[in-house]
């Protein structure tokens, strides 16, 4: 039997309250220097799990209870592959690092990764999106993400000091996995950044809210959705599609996939290789055997 929400203090078994668990979890994960986005995601997943077991009045949680919760997440809440992995990771961290207990067998799940391909916009569609976006700040946001293959969080954390116009590089600080990297700075992007700076005069971050400080991620998503609608593009696409498009278009132009891996900040080459499945370059350079037939 696994005793969740409990710990031993002075030889007495005391039950921790939900807020105590969250606070202890938050302190420990910050000590281990996890990124703020990961902390936010883990705490959100843990909060939902604690609510689930609290509603059931469960103080002694078994492997079956955990399995039932995972089934609930998958069948009722329709969690994706990545969301399920996040749930597993958050609860596992709780047991291992907060309760100092072995990870329950129910959490030792090996997920079958779905074989799905990323949605990609053509360069013509990207151009159309930018051309219908007349607001200078909005255009700068979309062009920056596409031109450098940025994650949304990386765009929002980008500071004025991260733009190096002398060496034509953008410094991405503490990206996913807390890794720094450099990305090329497009001449077109530099020109629009100079125009944007004169108009908006940001103080710290490249893209700031109306009252200063970081721009809202929801605002970026709204900007992209409106641009898609205005451009008449009906493809299923999100802000992250611009990053997928960046990688695919580089591959289409014959850029070595190992360079693309570095530009995207991927830890493993296998992650980057998914773009070979959507690149027209990799498909078009292979000749069909039918081309040898005399018809």
Question: What letter would DSSP give residue 159?
Answer: B
Pairing of strands 12-15, 6-9: antiparallel
Q: Which of 24, 176, 214, 226 is catalytic?
A: 176
Q: Which of 42, 93, 146, 275 is catalytic?
A: 275
Catalytic residue list contains 40: no
Longest CA span, the chain: 87
Catalytic residue list contains 214: no
Tokens of 253: 């132009």
Tokens of 277: 């499945």
Catalytic residue list contains 176: yes
Q: Which of 128, 138, 139, 243 is catalytic?
A: 243
Helices (H) then strands (E): counts for the chain: 13, 5
Q: How many beta carbons lie within 10 A of that of residue 17, not counting itself? A: 12
Catalytic residue list contains 138: no
Tokens of 34: 């996890």
Catalytic residue list contains 266: yes
**Cα–Cα dist 71/195, whole Å:** 52
- State the DSSP string of 13-43: EEEPPHHHHHHHHHHHHHHTT--HHHHHHHH
**Cα–Cα dist 183/154, whole Å:** 12
Catalytic residue list contains 151: yes
Q: Which of 139, 151, 244, 249 is catalytic?
A: 151
Q: Which of 24, 74, 97, 240 is catalytic?
A: 240
**Which residue, among 51, 116, 119, has the nearest Cα to 87 in the 3D structure?**
51
What residues contact residue 262 under an 8 Å CB cut-off, 6+ apart?
A: 181
Q: Which of 128, 139, 249, 266 is catalytic?
A: 266
Question: Which residues are marked as active site?
Answer: 151, 176, 240, 243, 266, 275
């Amino acid at each position: 039997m696994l005793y969740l929400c409990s710990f031993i203090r002075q030889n007495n078994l005391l039950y921790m309250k939900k807020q105590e668990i969250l606070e202890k979890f938050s302190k420990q994960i910050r000590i281990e220097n996890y990124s703020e986005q990961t902390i936010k995601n883990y705490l959100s997943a843990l909060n939902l799990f604690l609510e689930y077991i609290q509603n059931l009045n469960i103080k002694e949680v078994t492997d079956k209870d955990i399995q039932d919760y995972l089934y609930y997440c998958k069948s009722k809440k329709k969690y994706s592959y990545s969301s399920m992995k996040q749930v597993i990771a958050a609860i596992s961290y709780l047991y291992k690092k907060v309760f100092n207990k072995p990870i329950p067998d129910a959490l030792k799940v090996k997920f079958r990764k779905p074989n799905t391909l990323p949605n990609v916009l053509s360069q013509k569609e990207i151009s159309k999106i930018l051309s219908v976006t007349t607001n200078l700040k909005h255009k700068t946001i979309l062009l920056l993400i596409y031109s450098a293959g940025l994650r949304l969080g990386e765009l929002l954390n980008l500071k004025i000091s991260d733009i190096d116009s002398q060496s034509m590089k953008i410094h991405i600080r503490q990206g996913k996995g807390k890794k720094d990297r450099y990305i090329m700075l497009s001449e077109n992007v530099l020109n629009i950044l100079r125009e944007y700076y004169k108009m908006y005069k940001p103080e710290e971050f490249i893209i700031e809210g109306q009252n200063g400080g970081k721009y809202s991620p929801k605002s970026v998503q709204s900007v992209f959705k409106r641009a898609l609608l205005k451009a008449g593009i009906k493809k299923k696409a999100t802000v992250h599609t611009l990053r997928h498009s960046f990688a695919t278009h580089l591959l289409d132009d014959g850029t070595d996939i190992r360079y693309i891996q570095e530009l995207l900040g991927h830890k493993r080459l296998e992650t980057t290789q998914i773009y070979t499945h959507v690149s027209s370059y990799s498909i078009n350079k292979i000749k069909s055997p039918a081309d040898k037939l005399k018809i």
